[in-house]
Amino acid sequence: MRIAWLTDIHLNFVSSVDERSFTHKIMAEQPDAVIITGDIGESGDVAEHLEYMANVLRCPIFFTLGNHDFYNGSIGEVRDSVRKLISQQENLIWLSDAAVIQVTESLAIVGHDSWADGRLGDYDGSCVELNDFYLIDDFAGLDRRRRLNLMQFLAEQAADHFRRTLPSAFESVDYVILATHVPPFKESCWHGSRTSNDMFLPFFSCKVVGDVLMEIMTRNPTKSLTVLCGHTHGGGEAQIRHNLKVLTGEATYGQPVIQRVLDLK
C-alpha cells in the first residue's frame, strides 16, 4: 500500500499551471491512495481543488479540512458543499464523515478535521490573533471567551470521533494511520526547529484529541498509531510513547509539496 501524504497545500495561492504540475508529480509517485490533512484552499475553491485532484489522480483521496478551508465562508456552508461533492465523486473520502477505513489486512485509516482548543499554552495571556477570527463567519464578532468556546466545541467533535473510531479500528487491525489537521500534542506542535511557545500553542494544538489518543494507546500497548497532521507549517516528528508517533508536515504558501510517500503493509 503506497500512500502519498500532503498537508497545507493551500492551492488558492497556486496558479492553475502549478496546480496541474503538482498533481502530476503526485501521480508520478503511483500512489494507491492519497491522504490530505487540511488547508487545501479556502471556502470558495476547496471543493474545486478536491474535484480536480480526484479526477486526475483517480485513486482514493482521504482528506480532512483545515481552518483555512473555511475562510471567507461559514463552517456549515463548506461542510455542506464538501458533502455534496463527495456524494458525486466516489474516490473522495472526507474522513470526518467516514467510519473506519480498513485498507489492508493490518492497516486502517481514521481521521477528522479537528480544531485548536486553546488548552495548551497561555490562551488568556496570548496576544495572537488568527485570521480565523475575522475570515470565518462563525468566529467573526465573537469576544475572546466565545471564540474559545467555539474552538473547544469544534475540537470536541474530533475527540468524540476518535473515541468512537479508533478503538473500533483496533478490533480489526494492529496499525492505524490517523489524519487530522491540528497537532494533538505540544511535542508535535513544531514551529521552525522547536515546538511552539505558550503564545501560539493555544491556537496550534488540540489537547482534547491528544488526551483521547494517549488514553486509547495506553489501553492498547500492542497496537500502533501514526498521526499525520499539519497546521503549524513547521515540520517534525514526535515519538509520544512507544506505540504513538506524530508526523507534522512542513509547508510554505504557494509551494505545495508531497510530505512523504508511505509504503505500508
Alpha helices in 8-118 (DSSP H): 16-28, 46-57, 75-88
Angle at CA of residue 163, ends 162 and 164, nearest 5°: 85
Residue 26 CB, shortest distance to Fe ion, in Å, is 18
Measured from the CB atom, the residue of 31 and 230 that comes closer to Fe ion is: 230
Element (H, E) at 36: strand 33-37
**Residue 183 Cβ vs Fe ion, minimum distance, rounded to whole Å:** 10
- Minimum Å gap between C-beta 130 and Fe ion is 9
- Would you report the helix, strand and coil content of the chain in percent, each value rounded to 5? 40, 20, 40
Contact predicate 178/162, CB 8 Å: yes
Question: How many Cα atoms occupy the beta-carbon half-sphere of 187 within 13 Å?
Answer: 12
Nearest CB to Fe ion, comparing residues 161 and 231: 231
Using the minimum distance from each CB to Fe ion, give the nearer residue, 100 or 229: 229
Minimum Å gap between C-beta 251 and Fe ion is: 6
**C-beta of 2 vs 191, nearer to Fe ion:** 191
C-beta neighbour count of 218 within 10 angstroms? 11
**Contact criterion met (CB below 8 Å) for 130 and 197:** no
CB of 112 to Fe ion, least distance (A): 14
Sequence-separated (6 or more) residues with CB below 8 Å from residue 112: 64, 95, 96, 157, 158, 161, 162, 180, 209
Which residues form the interface with Fe ion (CB under 5 A)? 8, 39, 66-67, 231
Looking at the Cβ atoms of 186 and 231, the one nearer to Fe ion is 231
